[in-house]
Amino acid sequence: MEGKAVSGTLYVIGTGPGNPDQMTPEAQRAVERAEEFFGYFPYLDRLSLRSDQRKIASDNREELDRASAALGRAAAGMNVAVVSGGDPGVFAMAAAVCEAIDAGPAEWRDVELVVTPGVTAMLAVAARAGAPLGHDFCAMSLSDNLKPWEVITRRLRLVAEAGLVIALYNPISKARPWQLGKAFDILKDVLPGTVPVIFGRAAGRPDERIVVVPLSQADPAMADMATCVMIGSPETRVIARPNLPDLVYSPRSHAGDRR
Amino acid sequence: MEGKAVSGTLYVIGTGPGNPDQMTPEAQRAVERAEEFFGYFPYLDRLSLRSDQRKIASDNREELDRASAALGRAAAGMNVAVVSGGDPGVFAMAAAVCEAIDAGPAEWRDVELVVTPGVTAMLAVAARAGAPLGHDFCAMSLSDNLKPWEVITRRLRLVAEAGLVIALYNPISKARPWQLGKAFDILKDVLPGTVPVIFGRAAGRPDERIVVVPLSQADPAMADMATCVMIGSPETRVIARPNLPDLVYSPRSHAGDRR
């Protein structure tokens, strides 16, 4: 083992939905311990770093290169952080880091990996809307960059038939303009048009926007890249409140299979 | 409106998985603001309260009564907290509070509701295991106290066929001893026996226990009431590391529908 570097620690940090009050003390402590920070630049911009800490920003969709760069540095003995918004385990960097370890050199398996969980977008949006995830639910990425569109449509149909509430991440982007409309079409086939749909953006931040419409009126133009779109189940209900915003919730109890 | 009390605020607080370092500053601030705390006693025991703050502990499975009691106090002008472990919107108190508002007197709709999201159990367990929730996944409660068992088995079959990773909450209890074994039987019907299953308990706490076995060897005796059981998809992989625990992850990319 002569001459072999002692591995550093690789922190995979979830910063939460963007409001610093929703980032855990554990994640904050990991930020204090790391020397170099790898991440998509808007997430790195959220961190207040010391002058001895270094940011290496990269673009979206470069997750595997970013993970490999961070692992290389950690294997060389640095304490390194890979930064995600929300929770790093939900459509974010933790899986990319594991993929890089799986495919990478043997010494990357000696890097201590510390993943700090965080509040993922759907939980932040749900908290602002009421309790739309109150019963069984699923989280799906609508991006067909990494999986075939047919897998996505098949899954959408099955989870809607199962009666799960559906949280859609990555619903739309300039490169993927039509997928969300097609997803709504599929869901309208299976679900009643009255099912509530929540478009939740920047939950808990000053520019928060939460819009609730029935599925029959859901329009892809209501979403952008940073929106979490939640489609209720046939059980999901809306409570009108005269002086406060409506509440959307999915009751814990289920009356029985209505099919 | 003469003589009408001004409503207080009802905080629905998620304390995270149990490690105080994983509770958000926002949730901590809500704890400081509330005067009375309603919750299942182990969750209330986690809080350090001032002498002017009052705990009203109740048993598990009394969620609706607890929510109604808290709403009554808030409608009378108190600042009240309802406390959940994990995230209050995931199989927890936020839905019970909404149900109580939906069925309750009109003045409960004037109570300001502030839900503070938290790190839910599956995210804490996933962070310790690697990235098992790295692609599409679902969260299901295995409890048939509030929904028929046939709804649960039908959903299990559909989400397994959809290729989602499955996080099971409330997997087993003294009153529900056989359901988890039956769930494994159903999943073994649909999924390869090699699929990794994670039994995660007390993630991030001193008594943490994370066990990973292939589905073919999954045994309900490995779980208790406080375990989150995660069943991988056919894509989920295990990375052996000579000097560190195995990593379990679900890759972001999908090779195509293998059925």
Is the full-model pTM beyond 0.90? yes
Q: Identify the residue whose tokens are 């076995």.
A: B213
Buried b (16+ CB within 10 A) or exposed e, B1-27: eeeeeebbbbbbbbbbbbbbebbbbbb
Is it the case that residue B258 has pLDDT exceeding 80? no
The answer to whether B154 and B144 are in contact (CB under 8 A) is: no
pLDDT at A146: 92
Contacts 24+ apart (CB under 8 A), B69-74: B69/B38, B70/B10, B70/B36, B70/B38, B70/B97, B71/B10, B71/B97, B71/B100, B71/B101, B71/B104, B71/B108, B71/B111, B73/B8, B73/B36, B74/B7, B74/B8, B74/B9, B74/B10, B74/B111
Mean pLDDT of B28-55: 96
CB contact under 8 A, A87 and B123: yes
Task: Report chain A residues whose CB lies below 8 A from the CB of B133.
Answer: 89-90, 139
**Selected residue of B15, B66, B133, B165 to mutate for chain A interface (largest A Cβ count, 10 A):** B133
CB contact under 8 A, B25 and A20: yes
How many angstroms separate the CA of residue B74 from the nearest CA in chain A?
15
* Beta-ladder partners of B39: B57, B83
pLDDT at B1: 45
Q: Tell me the pLDDT band of B59, cut-offs 50, 70 and 90.
A: confident
CB contact under 8 A, B102 and A239: yes
Is it the case that residue B227 has pLDDT exceeding 80? yes
From first to last of the 259 residues of chain A, give the pLDDT tens digit: 445 568 999 999 999 999 999 999 999 999 999 999 999 999 999 999 999 999 999 987 789 999 999 999 999 999 999 999 999 999 999 999 999 999 999 999 999 999 999 999 999 999 999 999 999 999 999 999 999 999 999 999 999 999 999 999 999 999 999 999 999 999 999 999 999 999 999 998 889 999 999 999 999 999 999 999 999 999 999 999 999 999 999 999 987 644 3
Which domains are seen in chain A, by residue range?
Answer: 9-119 (3.40.1010.10), 122-249 (3.30.950.10)
Task: Please state, in angstroms and as integers, the Cα–Cα distance from residue B243 to each residue in B147, B165, B239, following that order.
Answer: 44, 27, 12
Is it the case that residue B257 has pLDDT exceeding 60? no
For the stretch B100-158, pLDDT in tens is 999 999 999 999 999 999 999 999 999 999 999 999 999 999 999 999 999 999 999 99
β-strand pairing of B165-169 with A165-169:
unpaired
For the stretch A2-33, pLDDT in tens is 455 689 999 999 999 999 999 999 999 999 99
**E strand segments, B150-208:** 165-169, 196-201
Cα separation, B112 vs A128, whole angstroms:
12
pLDDT at A259: 39
pLDDT at B124: 98
The answer to whether B136 and A138 are in contact (CB under 8 A) is: yes
Is it the case that residue B2 has pLDDT exceeding 80? no
Expressed in angstroms, the distance from the first to the final Cα of chain A is 64
Mean pLDDT of B70-92: 97
pLDDT at A258: 44
**Which of A119, A128, A141 faces B118 most closely, judged by CB atoms?**
A119
CB contact under 8 A, A119 and B89: no
Cα separation, A88 vs A12, whole angstroms:
7
pLDDT at B134: 98
The ipTM of this complex is 0.96
How many angstroms separate the CA of residue A206 from the nearest CA in chain B?
15
- Burial class, A103, CB count within 10 angstroms (exposed 0-12 / middle 13-18 / buried 19+): exposed
How many angstroms separate the CA of residue B31 from the nearest CA in chain A?
14
pLDDT at B131: 98
At A167, which helix (H) or strand (E)? strand A165-169
For the stretch B153-208, pLDDT in tens is 999 999 999 999 999 999 999 999 999 999 999 999 999 999 999 999 999 888 99
